[in-house]
Chains A and B, each alone.
Chain A
Amino acid sequence: MAKRPFLSPLNLRRLRNFRRNRRAVWSLAIFGVLFGLSVFAEFIANDKPIAVSYRGEIRMPIFSFYSERDFGGDFPTEAGYGEPEVDCLIVTGGLDECFDTPDELIAAVDAGQTLDGDFQPGWMLWPVIPYSYNTIVDVSGVAPAPPSAENWLGTDDTKRDVTARVIYGFRLSVTFALTVTVAASLIGIMAGAVQGYFGGWTDLVFQRFIEIWTGMPSLYVIIIVFAILGRSYWLLVFLTVLFGWPALVGVVRAEFLRARNLEYVRAAKALGVRDRTIMFRHMLPNAMVATVTMLPFLVTGAIGSLASLDFLGFGLPSSAPSLGELTLQAKQNLQAPWLGFTAFFTFAIMLSLLVFIFEGVRDAFDPRKTFVADGNVITDEAVFETAAEVPATGTDSR
């Protein structure tokens, strides 16, 4: 192992192919930036400051709990950052006058004045969006408020900042989809491999089992299970995997059924290689192309089903920053079109990027394209592509 290069020549070629697909590379770059940002959502959209300097001491409310008392206030509860009193306590270093005329004191500090008494200037570093996904925005006006300088994408019908919810919702959807895809693929590949490799009765019985499984009304089961166990993120992941894994079984099974009688498998069997090793070391790499073909749709399918469940009210717990719930709100508040536009374009951008990336991955794995890119091997397709062009320009004019 140690002597081998990090990537085999084949994988290097795949990597090169992927890089050649500009749409996939750009999608990956954009998606990387977006997802990277959303991973640090707490630093971008939060109702607590990232850092606070209070009497010369740097505190990070984003990580740890500070009561109002810690800033010279009265209450042992968490400090309400964003309230004028607390802000005043922080920037002035805990002056008692803050409880009477906070706004004036803040204005004075902002203007660079030095105040009397026990004054020690402080500062707060706020995230770009001073709201978390569940912060109720404290502005007057009707509930779904249109986009403004404070709320870039407006607020939803419980006055939460839509931008913040989209950032957190994006992260939630993507992590959900990736978790589900990885788990469902692993189970699907293993099931399909066993089924195809052993064939015969195993295949027949398993095939019936999958027919039964896919015949289950999944929404009905989800409703029932939620009614019994209550809702949670991981339960939803589990249930989605439960109904998602058969998607891959078909293709993997077909590949294994085809390959089980090929010479290399027979040779391996004759050498006494264990079934498990034959399946996963020798046959699986050949079945990977078919598997990777399905990947884009597994990922987008997972996001889609999460959105539908949330939309129907049978998804994540209602406090979660869910994009499906945003869609539902868009339907309930047709007078607030920004909700609908935000929901649609968030999904459209997220799903398009994911599809383009995984398409690039798939094409990179596709043996026809892998080898044609090298210029040594020309596939039939390429030959007939040129053949098809000739009569179109030449013979047609007669």
Chain B
Amino acid sequence: MGAYILRRLLLVIPTLLGIMIINFSLTQFVPGGPIEQILAELEGGGNVFESISGGGSELVEGGDGDYIGGRGLPADFIADLEREFGFDKPPLERFLNMMWNYMRFDFGESYFRSISVFDLVMEKMPVSITLGLWSTLIAYMISIPLGVKKAVRDGTPFDTWTSGAIIVGYAIPGFLFAILLIVLFAGGSFFRVFPLRGLTSANFEDLSLIGKVLDYFWHITLPVLASTISAFATLTLLTKNSFLDEIKKQYVMTARAKGLTERRVLYGHVFRNGMLIVISGFPALFIGVFFGGSLIIETLFSLDGLGRLGFEAAVARDYPVVFGTLFAFSLIGLVVGIITDLTYVLIDPRIDFEARN
């Protein structure tokens, strides 16, 4: 087992290197870099998000590169900028520098704000955790009992129509539900019940503790609801199938034969075994809760989370943020993948990944 883990860990290195190399080389071909972006901002280029959240109508198409000539900005100013961002060095040297820093988990500073990439990610975490935590909790609290019930009533009309509803909910992108919710409950045309933007109100600091809690939940109801709807499908169907497999087994028949109530059979005996496959998803789930970002949901509800951070960084060519988060999240993702595989072995020792012929 130790050899297997070691091999998997070693394989992370070429994968991670591959991801970084491809994205770094792709970046070399892009017209318009961070310097152009700064120049555009100095000259009033505007915010990339205005087009979505309802401000301007022009889309910033990632720098047209026609600034050259400086539009009057002094050449030595641009040279200074280039030196500051390290663009005076050849790409290979920049890449090696970057990787060396990343290996020591030094992710550098954002080009546009004097804040380290690590702090920047930390700053965006509350939104991601809010969306991730609550929608996951709701999804689990509804999906698992529903999955059990569907397994018990497999093939009945209840099973059929809940499957239909769940799958439709999964197929329709979450942001369309978000739009519907906004139009219905926050738009003003129908019920103006929920706020349209932000995680908390402007006067949050002045509120009492209960007021703060209420204000928080008032703000997150719609975004959490919108991001939960699509989460039901996988979990419910996973639970259902796992329970269907378990219900067929001998021990269930034994439990029934000795006269246990159906409830006891399901939740006392089957549940533990049926949940194993769900539990093996926990490592990935955990990471999803913390680092998941939904760009469109965040944009729609004017929340400042990781999804938007990534998008803004990509559009603005904030390379330290782009590559820092890419490196960190890819590493986390790969390691979690290994942990997930190991959990499978933990819950079912019969699984053996080393048997490869």
Question: Which of A106-114, A118-126, A218-226 participates in binding chain B?
Answer: A218-226
User: Given known contacts A330-B179, A332-B54, is B168 in contact with A351 (CB within 8 Å)?
Assistant: yes
User: Given known contacts A312-B296, A347-B173, is B314 in contact with A215 (CB within 8 Å)?
Assistant: no
Residues in B30-86 with C-beta less than 8 Å from chain A: 30-32, 51-52, 54, 59, 61-63
Compute how far the CA of A359 lies from the CA of B299 in the bound complex, rounded to whole angstroms.
Answer: 33
Q: Are A220 and B29 in contact, CB atoms less than 8 angstroms apart?
A: no
Q: Which residues of B lie under 8 Å from residue A290 when comparing CB positions?
A: none
Q: Are B265 and A391 in contact, CB atoms less than 8 angstroms apart?
A: yes
Determine whether B261 belongs to the interface, using a CB cutoff of 8 Å to chain A.
yes
Q: Which residues of B lie under 8 Å from residue A32 when comparing CB positions?
A: none
Q: Which residues of B lie under 8 Å from residue A219 when comparing CB positions?
A: 295, 310-311, 314
Compute how far the CA of A312 lies from the CA of B18 in the bound complex, rounded to whole angstroms.
Answer: 28
Question: B15, B170, B187, B310: which contacts A211 (Cβ < 8 A)?
Answer: B15
Q: Are A341 and B173 in contact, CB atoms less than 8 angstroms apart?
A: no
Determine whether B23 belongs to the interface, using a CB cutoff of 8 Å to chain A.
yes
B interface, by DSSP: helix, strand, loop or mixed?
helix
Question: A296, A395, A396: which contacts B171 (Cβ < 8 A)?
Answer: A296
Compute how far the CA of A220 lies from the CA of B311 in the bound complex, rounded to whole angstroms.
Answer: 7
Q: Are B247 and A227 in contact, CB atoms less than 8 angstroms apart?
A: no
Determine whether A327 belongs to the interface, using a CB cutoff of 8 Å to chain B.
yes
Determine whether B2 belongs to the interface, using a CB cutoff of 8 Å to chain A.
no
Q: How far is the CB of A244 from chain B (nearest CB, A)?
A: 15
Q: Are B188 and A392 in contact, CB atoms less than 8 angstroms apart?
A: no
User: Given known contacts A335-B188, A340-B183, is B172 in contact with A348 (CB within 8 Å)?
Assistant: yes
Question: B171, B259, B357: which contacts A355 (Cβ < 8 A)?
Answer: B171
Q: Which residues of A lie under 8 Å from residue B32 when comparing CB positions?
A: 227
Q: Which residues of B lie under 8 Å from residue A344 when comparing CB positions?
A: 172, 176-177, 179-180
Question: Which of A88-96, A129-137, A379-387 participates in binding chain B?
Answer: A379-387
Determine whether A331 belongs to the interface, using a CB cutoff of 8 Å to chain B.
yes
Q: How far is the CB of A318 from chain B (nearest CB, A)?
A: 8
Determine whether A71 belongs to the interface, using a CB cutoff of 8 Å to chain B.
no
Question: Which of A33-41, A246-254, A303-311 participates in binding chain B?
Answer: A303-311
Question: Which of B116-124, B139-147, B205-213, B326-334 participates in binding chain A?
Answer: B326-334
Determine whether A297 belongs to the interface, using a CB cutoff of 8 Å to chain B.
yes
- What is the interface residue range for chain A against chain B? 35 or more
- Considering residues A311, A335, A380, which has the most beta carbons from chain B within 10 angstroms of its beta carbon? A311
Determine whether B244 belongs to the interface, using a CB cutoff of 8 Å to chain A.
yes
Compute how far the CA of A348 lies from the CA of B179 in the bound complex, rounded to whole angstroms.
Answer: 12
Residues in A321-373 with C-beta less than 8 Å from chain B: 327-328, 330-332, 334-335, 337, 340-341, 343-344, 347-348, 351-352, 354-356, 359
User: Given known contacts A223-B314, A327-B176, is B29 in contact with A228 (CB within 8 Å)?
Assistant: yes
Q: How far is the CB of A129 from chain B (nearest CB, A)?
A: 24
Question: A23, A335, A341, A354: which contacts B180 (Cβ < 8 A)?
Answer: A341
User: Given known contacts A332-B54, A392-B152, is B175 in contact with A355 (CB within 8 Å)?
Assistant: no
Compute how far the CA of A320 lies from the CA of B148 in the bound complex, rounded to whole angstroms.
Answer: 45
Q: Are B356 and A340 in contact, CB atoms less than 8 angstroms apart?
A: no
Q: Are B296 and A308 in contact, CB atoms less than 8 angstroms apart?
A: yes
Q: How far is the CB of A246 from chain B (nearest CB, A)?
A: 14
Determine whether A261 belongs to the interface, using a CB cutoff of 8 Å to chain B.
yes
Q: Which residues of B lie under 8 Å from residue A327 when comparing CB positions?
A: 175-176, 179
Residues in B282-307 with C-beta less than 8 Å from chain A: 295-296, 299-300
Q: Are A212 and B22 in contact, CB atoms less than 8 angstroms apart?
A: yes
Determine whether A199 belongs to the interface, using a CB cutoff of 8 Å to chain B.
yes
Q: Which residues of B lie under 8 Å from residue A312 when comparing CB positions?
A: 52, 295-296, 299, 311
Determine whether A208 belongs to the interface, using a CB cutoff of 8 Å to chain B.
yes
Q: Which residues of B lie under 8 Å from residue A307 when comparing CB positions?
A: 173, 175-176
Q: Are A351 and B18 in contact, CB atoms less than 8 angstroms apart?
A: no
Question: A223, A380, A381, A396: which contacts B261 (Cβ < 8 A)?
Answer: A396
A interface, by DSSP: helix, strand, loop or mixed?
helix
CB-nearest residue of chain B to A261: B357
Q: Which residues of A lie under 8 Å from residue B310 when comparing CB positions?
A: 217, 219-220
Q: Which residues of A lie under 8 Å from residue B253 when comparing CB positions?
A: 387
Q: Which residues of A lie under 8 Å from residue B155 when comparing CB positions?
A: 385
CB-nearest residue of chain A to B311: A219
Determine whether A300 belongs to the interface, using a CB cutoff of 8 Å to chain B.
yes
Question: B168, B177, B295: which contacts A352 (Cβ < 8 A)?
Answer: B168
Compute how far the CA of A216 lies from the CA of B253 in the bound complex, rounded to whole angstroms.
Answer: 48
Compute how far the CA of A297 lies from the CA of B59 in the bound complex, rounded to whole angstroms.
Answer: 31
Determine whether A271 belongs to the interface, using a CB cutoff of 8 Å to chain B.
no
Q: Which residues of A lie under 8 Å from residue B176 when comparing CB positions?
A: 307, 327, 343-344, 347-348
Q: Are A391 and B26 in contact, CB atoms less than 8 angstroms apart?
A: no
CB-nearest residue of chain B to A345: B180
Determine whether A56 belongs to the interface, using a CB cutoff of 8 Å to chain B.
no
Q: How far is the CB of A218 from chain B (nearest CB, A)?
A: 11
Determine whether B154 belongs to the interface, using a CB cutoff of 8 Å to chain A.
yes
Q: Are A334 and B188 in contact, CB atoms less than 8 angstroms apart?
A: yes
Compute how far the CA of A199 lies from the CA of B357 in the bound complex, rounded to whole angstroms.
Answer: 8
Question: B168, B182, B314: which contacts A334 (Cβ < 8 A)?
Answer: B182
Compute how far the CA of A211 lies from the CA of B18 in the bound complex, rounded to whole angstroms.
Answer: 9
Q: Which residues of B lie under 8 Å from residue A228 when comparing CB positions?
A: 29-31
Determine whether A285 belongs to the interface, using a CB cutoff of 8 Å to chain B.
no
Q: Are A308 and B175 in contact, CB atoms less than 8 angstroms apart?
A: yes
Determine whether A3 belongs to the interface, using a CB cutoff of 8 Å to chain B.
no
The 9 tightest CB contacts between A and B, nearest first, are A340-B183, A300-B171, A212-B18, A334-B187, A304-B173, A351-B171, A220-B314, A337-B189, A215-B19
**Contact surface of B with A, Cβ cutoff 8 Å:** 11, 14-15, 18-19, 22-23, 26-27, 29-32, 51-52, 54, 59, 61-63, 152, 154-155, 160, 164, 167-168, 170-173, 175-177, 179-180, 182-183, 186-190, 196, 244, 247-248, 253, 256, 259-262, 265, 295-296, 299-300, 310-311, 314-315, 322, 326, 330, 333-334, 356-357
**Contact surface of A with B, Cβ cutoff 8 Å:** 23, 199-200, 208-209, 211-212, 215-217, 219-221, 223-224, 226-228, 261, 296-297, 300, 304, 307-308, 311-313, 327-328, 330-332, 334-335, 337, 340-341, 343-344, 347-348, 351-352, 354-356, 359, 380-381, 384-385, 387-388, 391-392, 395-396, 398
Q: List 21 A-B contacts (CB under 8 A).
A: A200-B356, A208-B11, A211-B334, A220-B23, A226-B62, A227-B62, A307-B176, A308-B175, A331-B300, A334-B182, A335-B189, A337-B190, A340-B182, A341-B180, A347-B172, A352-B172, A384-B248, A385-B155, A388-B152, A391-B265, A395-B259
